[in-house]
Amino acid sequence: MSTKGTVKGIISNLVIVTVDGPVLQNEICYILTGGTSLMAEVIKVIGNDAYVQVFESTRGLKVGSEAEFTGHMLEVQLGPGLLSRNLDGLENDLDKMEGVFLRRGQYTSPLDETKKWSFQPIAKVGDTVEAAAWLGEVDENHQPHKIMVPFVFKGSYKVKNIVPAGDYTVNDTIAVLTAEDGHEEIVTMVQRWPVKKAVTAYREKPRPFRLLETGVRIIDIANPIVEGGTGFIPGPFGTGKTVLQHAISKQAEADIVIMAACGERANEVVEIFTEFPELVDPHTGRKLMERTIIVANTSNMPVAAREASVYTAMTIAEYYRSMGLKVLLMADSTSRWAQALREMSNRLEELPGQDAFPMDLSAIISAFYGRAGYVYLNNGTTGSITFIGTVSPAGGNLKEPVTEGTKKAARCFYALEQARADRKRYPAVNPIDSYSKYIEYPEFEQYISKLIAPDWIPMVNEMKTLMQRGKEVQEQINILGDDGVPLDYHLTFWKSEIVDFVILQQDAFDKIDAVCPIERQEYMMRKVMGLVRTDFHFDSFPEVMDYFKRMINALRQMNYSEFQSGDFKKYENEVDAIVAERKTVK
């Protein structure tokens, strides 16, 4: 018999319920008010009182209202038909909702229960299978969607029977499995999994090492992210977080893209809904939306659902990873998720940490980032979740708790800087403060040496040193004036500017420059590093500036030209002619 309860206190969306039986931490309950059932999650239990966070507005809720507990945690439905969906944080299908505004107490299934899928069996009668083993596959928007043994199954099972190839709905029986103790389990195309628990149905989770090519030079060259890696993009308002996210999600070598818009402004989320269906996938030529799932929770939706949305998105990502697919998960913005945690912590009157965030904020962020990764599945194939979150620090302060906590968890740090954005240097990623810890991994070094060249990482480090020296020279010029520093300093500064303008800056709205394949990146990097290693002869600093501006202009025209085309070669010859003018012959 399910546990029931009565509302005895309401603090905004924190409701205290007196219960008449056992309740679980993170259990879901429904509170009845005015003919609607409001969904809520248990976040704390003291004696007979369960503190629950309601995923809806609690306006009109009265003390004395009845609550009914379900006996399970917040779960998501997993099955074919999730791709191209617009979901909210509780996995309701937004396209099935009626009216302009979400109705209180209205919950919809994310899957189409009437659609028939063309099923092809993989497992055979008599096979021994375990959780996440592949039983068969259906084609979902040109992706091989595996029908798996549900993740909740424990131990090994024998396949008693499996349906032949044919068309079935998601709720039709696909297979019957016999457990070790003899009882039988029916498997359909749908399974459920609690969002707060990581899916661990894989054999091994090694350190990731394969480069995830994004086509964005400042990422791929200076601070590479890997398949199954973690990164985050902090930056104040207007520094280009959304444009950078769109570029990565559109261009990265991923099979599935999941966008979790948790707590962003409603107009920004509407932009995602309107822009994503129009974007063309550069890998397939079809619409990018075909392999995308959007989990949206805007800032004017209830704060508790905002917290759930990132977990919902991660669980869906883990489901697709178990099929041996490469998943890219983008969360925008994890600051709003942390604010939801702070709000609930404050209402529970817990001891506050820095800036009133929960004391264990850093541990919560680390546990969440830890769910991403590169895995070897039980059948030997690989799958990955690459997670990139954005952080919106108040006033652009990168020392605030969410940024600091994320820094400890994420391996790549792309610091967007207001000063670079103001100077229209996009992507406005600070090349000195940003980093990728994957460069230090011996496995990555080995991989990149084979993929590009053995001298690649030393050359990248040389470029970063030049950028650091260029910054120091710029500060000295600002203090002492142009005449106050030697000519060599001007040369160092302008050489760092070549790297900045030609390698680190990129035009996301130019058809050619928006996506830069790795062969082109290597070619341009060698060209630029060859130039900065060259000795030039000058008599005065005004000559240096004019000369390097001409060179930068010709190099940028190369970036805007089709690789190795006639125009590309023409501008390259122009660069070589400019170099020959002042090159010091030894």
pLDDT tens column, 415-432: 999 999 999 999 999 999
DSSP bridge partners of 435 = 413
Residue 301 above 70 pLDDT? no
Domain 456-582 has CATH 3.30.930.10: no
Residue 299 above 60 pLDDT? no
State the greatest distance between any 2 C-alpha atoms of the chain, in Å, as a whole number. Answer: 91
Residue 339 above 80 pLDDT? yes
Per-residue b or e along 181-217, where b marks 16 or more CB atoms closer than 10 Å to that residue's CB: eeeeeebbbbbebbbbbebebbeeeeebbbbbbbbbb
In the block, residue with structure tokens 């990422």: 219
Can you give the pLDDT at residue 263? Answer: 67
What tokens does 179 get?
A: 């457990």
Can you give the pLDDT at residue 138? Answer: 97
Q: Which amino acid is at 117?
A: W
53-90 pLDDT, tens digit per residue, is 998 888 889 999 999 999 999 999 999 999 999 888 88
536-548 pLDDT, tens digit per residue, is 999 888 899 999 9
268-297 pLDDT, tens digit per residue, is 677 777 777 777 777 778 888 889 998 987
Residue 371 above 80 pLDDT? yes
Where do the CATH 2.40.50.100 domains begin and end in the chain? Answer: 117-192
DSSP 559: H
The model carries a pTM of 0.94
Q: Please state the rounded mean pLDDT for residues 169-198.
A: 95
Residue 191 above 80 pLDDT? yes
Q: Is the peptide bond before 333 cis (omega within 30 degrees of 0)?
A: yes
Where do the CATH 2.40.10.170 domains begin and end in the chain? Answer: 4-73
DSSP 133: -
Percentage of residues in the chain with pLDDT exceeding 90? 73
- Burial class for 283, CB neighbours closer than 10 Å (0-12, 13-18, 19+): middle
Closest of 434, 78, 388 to residue 254, by C-alpha: 388
3-36 pLDDT, tens digit per residue, is 999 999 999 889 999 999 999 999 999 999 888 8
Q: What is the CATH number of domain 117-192?
A: 2.40.50.100
Q: How many CB atoms lie within 10 A of CB 347?
A: 16
The C-alpha atoms of residue 565 and residue 60 are separated, in whole angstroms, by: 67
Compare 99 and 429 and report the one with higher pLDDT.
429
CA 275 remoteness from chain centre: 18
From residue 42, alpha-carbon distances to 72, 304, 343, 517 in Å are: 11, 12, 15, 48
Pick the CATH number of 217-437 from 3.40.1160.10, 3.40.462.40, 3.40.50.300, 3.90.76.10: 3.40.50.300
Can you give the pLDDT at residue 93? Answer: 86
From residue 425, alpha-carbon distances to 243, 418, 470, 508, 514 in Å are: 13, 10, 16, 12, 14
What tokens does 196 get?
A: 């707060």
Q: Please state the rounded mean pLDDT for residues 345-355.
A: 89
Three-state SS at 90: coil
Compute the C-alpha angle 428/310/305, nearest 5°: 120
Residue 300 above 60 pLDDT? no
Q: Which amino acid is at 447?
A: Y
Asked if residue 347 lies in contact with residue 285, where contact means CB atoms within 8 angstroms, the answer is: no
Closest of 457, 446, 580 to residue 529, by C-alpha: 457
CATH topology of domain 4-73: Thrombin, subunit H (2.40.10)
DSSP 388: E
The C-alpha atoms of residue 135 and residue 147 are separated, in whole angstroms, by: 6
Q: Which of 213-227, 283-297, 545-559 has the lowest mean pLDDT?
A: 283-297
Where do the CATH 1.10.1140.10 domains begin and end in the chain? Answer: 456-582
Q: Please state the rounded mean pLDDT for residues 446-470.
A: 96
Return mean pLDDT, the chain.
91
- Burial class for 218, CB neighbours closer than 10 Å (0-12, 13-18, 19+): buried
From residue 466, alpha-carbon distances to 223, 430, 440 in Å are: 15, 14, 19
